[in-house]
């Protein structure tokens, strides 16, 4: 490749295959500021790009030129658009194009255009590309397990082509690596609610509840599994209040951890929805309350006071929760 960094960049004006093209500079206005010396490579590449783009020249040399322009600025969406037109016109091998995206993606994994291009290719290739796409997103997620684009591409592949069989295991693996990874928790919820193989929330609630509880007990300050646990009982507060494992995990965390903001918050939800607390729960809350020398109040009111004290940045939120307690609970 003539643009290979090792060999040094050859200006288009000195390349034999480009002698017939007149480069088109960016529109020059009435107030030109003296151009400062800067990346000639960028300027010349874009001048030649404009030439082939405006001439609508869908040729192999144009394809090669878009590769160079993308290398310089992968965010330039017009270059990508033109590249797709060329690919369509020349019937370029789409698998080869996938390889090309593989090459540039790892260093530009947060670029919208690359992912959109990838999706366009996968859509054209159909189900046959499923495994490759799942592997590709895995590779990107190995570099950054929270890459938003990679996750949304992966979700699209699963829904469009399938491949759900190993997805829950994959979530486990990522959560083993980093239990705080909210993206992986989100994917887990995506799998249990949308996979055709698992029986939905009803079929997974028990085992997933145990999984979330285990994660909570390891790191009670981790926001994600607490929300996940709540999500398992989405839209059904009675079921949440009736689930013994939910009130038990609150109790365990209150008894053993200093990081109990999320436990108190969930307990507050349970109490607001009519949970009749056991003696141990009352004792655990009262212990915290007396440590903080808080005045006597109802159990939910005390929980709010503790939270206000423990989490001063959000004290207005907790004060609002107190003011919003059901009559019999406050």
Q: Interface residues with another protein (CB under 8 A)?
A: 25-36, 38-39, 42, 46, 50, 53-54, 72-73, 75-78, 81, 84, 112, 116, 119-120, 146, 148, 151-152, 155-156, 159, 180-183, 186-187, 189-190, 193-194, 223-224, 227-228, 230-231, 234, 312-314, 316-317, 320
Which of 192, 285 has the CB closer to another protein? 192
Provide, rounded to whole angstroms, the least separation between the CB of residue 183 and another protein.
5
Output the CA–CA distances (angstroms, integers) from residue 233 to 141, 228, 267, in the order listed: 29, 9, 15
CB-based contact 165:127 (threshold 8 Å)? no
Catalytic residue among 71, 110, 146, 252: 110
- Please, are residues 94 and 121 in contact by the beta-carbon 8 Å criterion? yes
Structure tokens at 52: 């082939």
Which residue's CB is nearer to another protein, number 11 or number 17? Answer: 11
First to last CA, the chain: 74
For residue 110, indicate whether it is catalytic.
yes
Cβ proximity to another protein: between 187 and 289 the closer is: 187
In whole angstroms, the minimum distance from the beta carbon of 118 to another protein comes to: 11
- 5 vs 257: CA distance, rounded Å: 56
Q: Whole-number minimum distance, CB 106 to another protein, in Å?
A: 19
153's tokens: 């591409």
Q: How far is the CB of 275 from another protein (least distance, A)?
A: 19
Distance between CA atoms of 1 and 51, rounded to whole angstroms? 21
d(CA 143, CA 190): 22
Nearer to another protein, 116 or 132 (CB): 116
Catalytic residue numbers, as ranges: 110
């Amino acid at each position: 490749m003539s643009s290979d960094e090792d060999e040094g960049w050859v200006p288009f004006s000195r390349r034999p295959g480009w002698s017939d093209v007149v480069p088109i500079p960016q529109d020059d206005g009435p107030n030109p500021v003296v151009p400062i010396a800067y990346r000639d490579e960028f300027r010349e590449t874009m001048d030649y790009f404009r030439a082939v783009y405006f001439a609508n020249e869908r040729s192999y040399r144009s394809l090669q030129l878009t590769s160079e322009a993308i290398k310089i600025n992968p965010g330039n969406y017009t270059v990508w658009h033109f590249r797709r037109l060329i690919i369509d016109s020349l019937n370029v091998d789409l698998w080869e194009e996938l390889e090309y995206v593989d090459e540039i993606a790892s260093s530009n994994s947060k670029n919208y255009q690359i992912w959109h291009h990838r999706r366009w290719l996968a859509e054209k290739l159909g189900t046959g590309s499923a495994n490759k796409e799942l592997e590709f997103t895995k590779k990107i997620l190995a570099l950054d397990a929270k890459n938003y684009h990679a996750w949304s591409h992966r979700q699209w592949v699963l829904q469009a082509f399938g491949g759900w069989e190993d997805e829950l295991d994959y979530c486990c693996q990522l959560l083993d690596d980093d239990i705080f990874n909210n993206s992986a928790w989100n994917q887990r919820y995506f799998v249990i609610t949308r996979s055709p193989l698992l029986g939905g929330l009803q079929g997974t609630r028990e085992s997933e509840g145990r999984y979330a509880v285990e994660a909570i007990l390891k790191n009670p300050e981790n926001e994600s599994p607490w929300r996940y646990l709540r999500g398992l009982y989405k839209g059904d507060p009675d079921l949440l209040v009736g689930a013994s494992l939910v009130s038990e995990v609150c109790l365990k965390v209150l008894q053993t951890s200093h990081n109990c903001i999320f436990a108190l918050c969930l307990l507050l939800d349970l109490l607001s929805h009519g949970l009749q607390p056991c003696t141990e729960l009352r004792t655990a809350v009262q212990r915290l309350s007396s440590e903080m020398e808080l005045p006597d109040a109802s159990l939910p009111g005390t929980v709010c006071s503790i939270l206000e004290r423990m989490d001063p940045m959000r004290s207005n939120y907790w004060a609002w929760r107190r003011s919003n307690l059901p009559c019999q609970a406050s």
